[in-house]
Amino acid sequence: MDENPPLVVVVDFGAQYAQLIARRVREANVYSEIVPYQITAAELAERAPAGIILSGGPKSVNVEGAPLVDHAIFDLGVPILGICYGAQLCAHQLGGEVDRSGRGEYGRTDIAVQSADGLLMGMSDGQDVWMSHFDAIVAPPAGATVIASSPEAPVAAFEDPVRAVYGVQFHPEVAHTPNGQRVIENFLYKACGLPPSWTMPNVIERSVEQIRTQVGDRRAICGLSGGVDSAVAAALVHKAIGPQLTCVFVDTGLMRLDEGEQVVETFQRNQGIELVHMRVADRFFAGLKGVIDPEAKRKVIGELFIRVFEEAASGLEDAEFLVQGTLYPDVIESGTPDAAKIKSHHNVGGLPEDMEFSLVEPLRALFKDEVRTVGSELGLPDEIVWRQPFPGPGLGVRIIGEVTPEKVATLQLADAIVRDEIAKADLEREIWQGFAVLPDIRSVGVMGDERTYGHPIIIRAVTSDDAMTADWARLPHDLLERMSSRIINEVTGVNRVAYDITSKPPGTIEWE
């Protein structure tokens, strides 16, 4: 099998949909990655992409300081698709014209299709698409043909098959463009000549080969948290190197209620993987004493994880590798040349510089839903594959302020109620994450005709496909009422419950 699958690069100009474009490419069974618009043609050529997609963006190509792409990229001989700003940029840099057409177009728009033989193959005249622009392409790039128009966009789509440059003013990546996926697939399959060969069985086969090459006959340990990411990573590495893998479950004291015992039961007895159980809650609470800043918490937790792994590995001969369930969103959010830092993930930005291990990260290129598919392909049980995502730092980033054993105990009980009620309502597959947060405040209440001054609990529930974006879940009011009533009655010291209705963006899914 080829070492690397054919790559389609999504060049990000600050679009809110850049990640969605990459996902749509992957849904067409073609591998994609996101890169910043500052990338040079030489840097891009080193990656040998089979296709390039220029994303949308918030700027106008006509304003001073507007982001441009290295002009030499157009001379690489690689097919290019521009979307919204990306299409305008192609026109602007290749001899076309972009101007204000009078009015912008936002939301559902009807386009007239002049040619349905190439990029728009399979689309009939009078197509609904999703627009979001004020500027418009009034003249296509030199040599390109107009293949669609709209009332306010004379060039709603263009193509130049000879030069392999294509552009659409609308957003084919969003669900509001009914035939948008077909446009993306036309570009991938016809313009780029790519087969739909990037599948999860192929990903598994390729990963197994890469792991065996990297590890050789030496040993690896896996930091097992009980979540889906580390579980799938462990199963994948175990498939590659078998008994050379030892899993280490670090019981930090920051897990969900009774989760430590569940992890040990599942992996030690049911999966046949060697497991070392490290009970080190006291060390984590000591390290977090007095720590309030969220980034500082993640750094403390990340370093303690590594130190415990190093201790566990000291008794294992040739344990030179550390397996982690790092995902593509972790890498993006932790800050890379491709993205600004949103928060450090303990297994990316929180790792100590003097770490003694070489990392094995077989899921680093995958989104969460792809990881679940890999897990199912590997035969992991549904209770692991469909377990709600849980942050590596655990409840430490769901407790605002200093983390103490008492606060963890309070939050564990409240969180268990939230998850129990979601399960009873049969919403586990619809909710991406549902959990409780303990803020660093107190509020006045009345219980039993007496004044109380207790903790509030915040319920957070979101829907999402990949955690890059998320919408707050519209939970039924009677479900919220049951959660609130149980938490206040069953969790000592809590006298108020609130529900977080913030989407991502502007918020993150976790509070810290």
For 303-330, letters b (16+ CB in 10 Å) and e give bbbbbbbbebbeebeebbbbbbbbbbbb
Catalytic residue among 105, 152, 159, 173: 173
- Cβ atoms of 283 and 304 closer than 8 Å: yes
For the chain, percent helix, then strand, then coil, each to nearest 5? 35, 25, 40
- Cβ atoms of 123 and 183 closer than 8 Å: yes
Beta carbons within 10 angstroms of residue 410's beta carbon: 22
Q: Which H or E element spans position 347?
A: none
Amino acid at 168: V
Closest CA to 158 of 172, 170, 146: 146
- Cβ atoms of 131 and 142 closer than 8 Å: no
Distance, CA of 352 to chain centre? 23
Both tokens assigned to 84: 């919204």
Would you call 173 a catalytic residue per the annotation? Answer: yes
User: Where are any strands of DSSP class E within 39-123?
Assistant: 51-54, 80-83, 97-113
Give Cα separations from 145 to 55, 114, 130, 163, 432 (angstroms): 21, 10, 21, 12, 44
Would you call 345 a catalytic residue per the annotation? Answer: no
Distance, CA of 305 to chain centre? 23
Catalytic residue among 92, 171, 345, 346: 171
- Cβ atoms of 137 and 131 closer than 8 Å: no
Would you call 171 a catalytic residue per the annotation? Answer: yes
Q: What residues have CB less than 8 Å from 101, skipping those under 6 apart? A: 135, 136, 138, 152, 153, 154
Amino acid at 43: E
Q: Give the up-direction half-sphere exposure of residue 131: CA atoms within 13 A in the CB hemisphere.
A: 23
Catalytically active residues, by annotation: 84, 171, 173
